[in-house]
Structure 1
Amino acid sequence: MREETETVDRRSYLKLSGITGLAATGFAGCLEDAGNGDDEGNQSDGATGENEIIAGTAPGFPPFEMKEGGDLVGFDIDHLEAVVDETDYELTGWKEFEFGSLIQSLNSGEIDVIAAAMTINDERKEKLAFTDPYYSANQSVLVQTGGDFEPSSLDDLAGRDLGAQSGTTGESIIEDEVDDANYRSFENYVYAVQELERGTLEAIVIDQPVAETFAANRDVEIAFTFETGEKYGLGVRQDDDGLREALNEGIAAVEESGEYEEITQEWFGE
């Protein structure tokens, strides 16, 4: 797992991402690390009561999870809080990690649930249990706006300077499906997009909804999108059947009530 990540304040984050007013933008994501703060920036040592839980996420994946004005915000934040409200559990706080540290932090007991646009796959199922899916997404390839490189398929990425966030589906696709790529891994997609704008990268592979958010706010554009069949789930420890079942019921209740649609509209304009 990766080392503890630094918190980026609103001014620094927005300077890097160019994203403001994200509550009015699009919808998205997919992910696979660790600060120890709740949403007020205080230290927290995990859930103490029988039905109290602490959530973990990985900011820097707009509009799913990011820091804004020192606060943790995004689709996953609002969605999980709505889901837990439908259960007998109480969400007592959030902790922020680099993406690659989330599963370790879950299994060590630092947190009780992962809400970080995490793709359900067989490899992760060996380390944690997923809830029912709550979102589906494809992958997009980002390039510089008006640049010379205009790929239309994964084959066009062969031998190119590519970037993705460590532990994500984008990274796996580059490593498994692109020949001879000069690949760079980033702890956060914000920094990858910054390098793409500077011209040190030729393309980034990233979740479609997140790509759309960056394309709307930075000097980058989507070259093409391809289907992956990805689905995102909340992650819990493999022996925590009670919490997993409760979250599944909460996910269904939020969808049936129409609140899911409201949260989607707020963050993705869908």
Structure 2
Amino acid sequence: MEHRTSVDMDRRTYVKVVGASSVAGLTGTAGCVGSISGSGDESTTTEKGGKLTAGTAPGFPPFEMKKGGELVGFDIDLLEAVVSESEYTLSGWEEFEFKGLMPALASEKIDVIAGAMTINDERDKKIDFSNPYYSADQSILVRKGGDFSPSKLGDFSGHPVGAQKGTTGEGIIKDELISKGKLKESNYNSYGSYVLAVEDLVNGNIDAIVIDKPVAKTFQSERDVSIAFTYETGEQYGFGVRQGDSEVQKALNSGLKAVRDSGKYAEIRNKWFSDS
């Protein structure tokens, strides 16, 4: 599932070259930042070789979750491995709801987002991204053995559905269903965490969830839910950094390449994804 890329390739050029259908591929303190000019706006950059604070949003297994009170997951292991290959050090992790990650980055509470965040044009206007490190589509989760068995998005009409706030799943529901009159807005339920959404699904409060495929597969293996179908999006995840923080961006790209070349990426991937 790996896709190798040159660390020197510009991130936007990389996305153009790889295209939407590529397969899964590819933190600082307030005292360590200074003001720079980036894209015409005032931005901040982390001191080269300094400490980085990472931010994530638990409740998105196997990428980030809490087990026994400990923060674990693919993104956690991968970012720690990537930073260890750079001149930066990781000072720790901060936890937020997914929708709070970009504001936390902008306000310098964190320096890197590692939260299975899809690279898209809307986010790219507000933050910068590393090269992609994983690709995924969206899956539709339903209750195992339930009466609702959709095979396409159009089948959602009249059914209560859910997604996590600020995610691609929510965007699909709003853009492809609600805005096109295929689903009433009152039938959409948004959640701070997919764990809560799955609870509502199992308890019969909603009939379906739109969620990233690898996360859907994890919930399917652990709860009484099943994947009805997959909606192809070709989305790719990247680590988020503040606009203009090019030194951190370059360090993450260099670290990603080193982790891939050493085989560590495959080791981490195989630890968290049983079908890899």
Would the TM-score normalized by the shorter structure come out above 0.5?
A: yes
Residue 103 (structure 1) aligns with: 102
What SS does the aligned partner of 1:239 have?
Answer: coil
* CA drift at 1:255: 1.0
Say whether 1:183 aligns with 2:188. yes
Q: 1: distance between equivalents of 2:151 and 2:88? A: 47
* CA drift at 1:48: 4.7
What SS does the aligned partner of 2:188 have?
Answer: strand
Shift >6 Å, 4+ stretches: none
What SS does the aligned partner of 2:146 have?
Answer: coil
Q: Give the counterpart of 1:46 among 26, 29, 47.
A: 29
Say whether 1:136 aligns with 2:132. no
* CA drift at 1:169: 0.5
Q: Give the counterpart of 1:212 among 186, 208, 217.
A: 217
Q: 1: distance between equivalents of 2:160 and 2:29? A: 41
Q: 2: distance between equivalents of 1:141 and 1:46? A: 40
Residue 227 (structure 1) aligns with: 232
What SS does the aligned partner of 2:92 have?
Answer: strand
- Could you say which structure has the larger radius of gyration? 2
* CA drift at 1:259: 0.5
Q: 2: distance between equivalents of 1:116 and 1:48? A: 24
Q: Kindly, what percent of the aligned residue pairs are identical?
A: 60
Q: 2: distance between equivalents of 1:70 and 1:148? A: 36
Q: 2: distance between equivalents of 1:63 and 1:167? A: 19
Gap change, CA 1:78 and 1:84, over 3 Å in 2: same
Q: 2: distance between equivalents of 1:61 and 1:183? A: 20
* 1:102-127 CA-partner distances (Å, limit 9, x unpaired): 10110111100000000000000111
Residue 117 (structure 1) aligns with: 116
Letter in 2 for 1:64: F
* 1:19-58 CA-partner distances (Å, limit 9, x unpaired): xxxxxxxxx9xxxxxxxxx9xxxxxx93655311100000
- Give the TM-score normalised by the residue count of structure 2: 0.80
Unaligned runs of 5+ in 1: 1-27, 29-37, 39-44
Residue 57 (structure 2) aligns with: 58
* 1:80-106 CA-partner distances (Å, limit 9, x unpaired): 000001100000100001110110110
RMSD value over aligned CA atoms? 1.5
Residue 18 (structure 1) aligns with: none
Equivalenced residue count is: 228
What SS does the aligned partner of 2:154 have?
Answer: helix
What SS does the aligned partner of 1:225 have?
Answer: strand
Q: 1: distance between equivalents of 2:30 and 2:131? A: 23
Q: 2: distance between equivalents of 1:120 and 1:193? A: 25
Residue 16 (structure 1) aligns with: none
- Give the TM-score normalised by the residue count of structure 1: 0.82
Residue 146 (structure 2) aligns with: 147
Say whether 1:197 aligns with 2:180. no
- Do 1:144 and 1:220's aligned partners in 2 also have CA atoms closer than 8 Å? yes
Q: 2: distance between equivalents of 1:47 and 1:266? A: 34
Say whether 1:244 aligns with 2:244. no
Q: 1: distance between equivalents of 2:199 and 2:157? A: 22
* 1:145-166 CA-partner distances (Å, limit 9, x unpaired): 0111110011111231000000
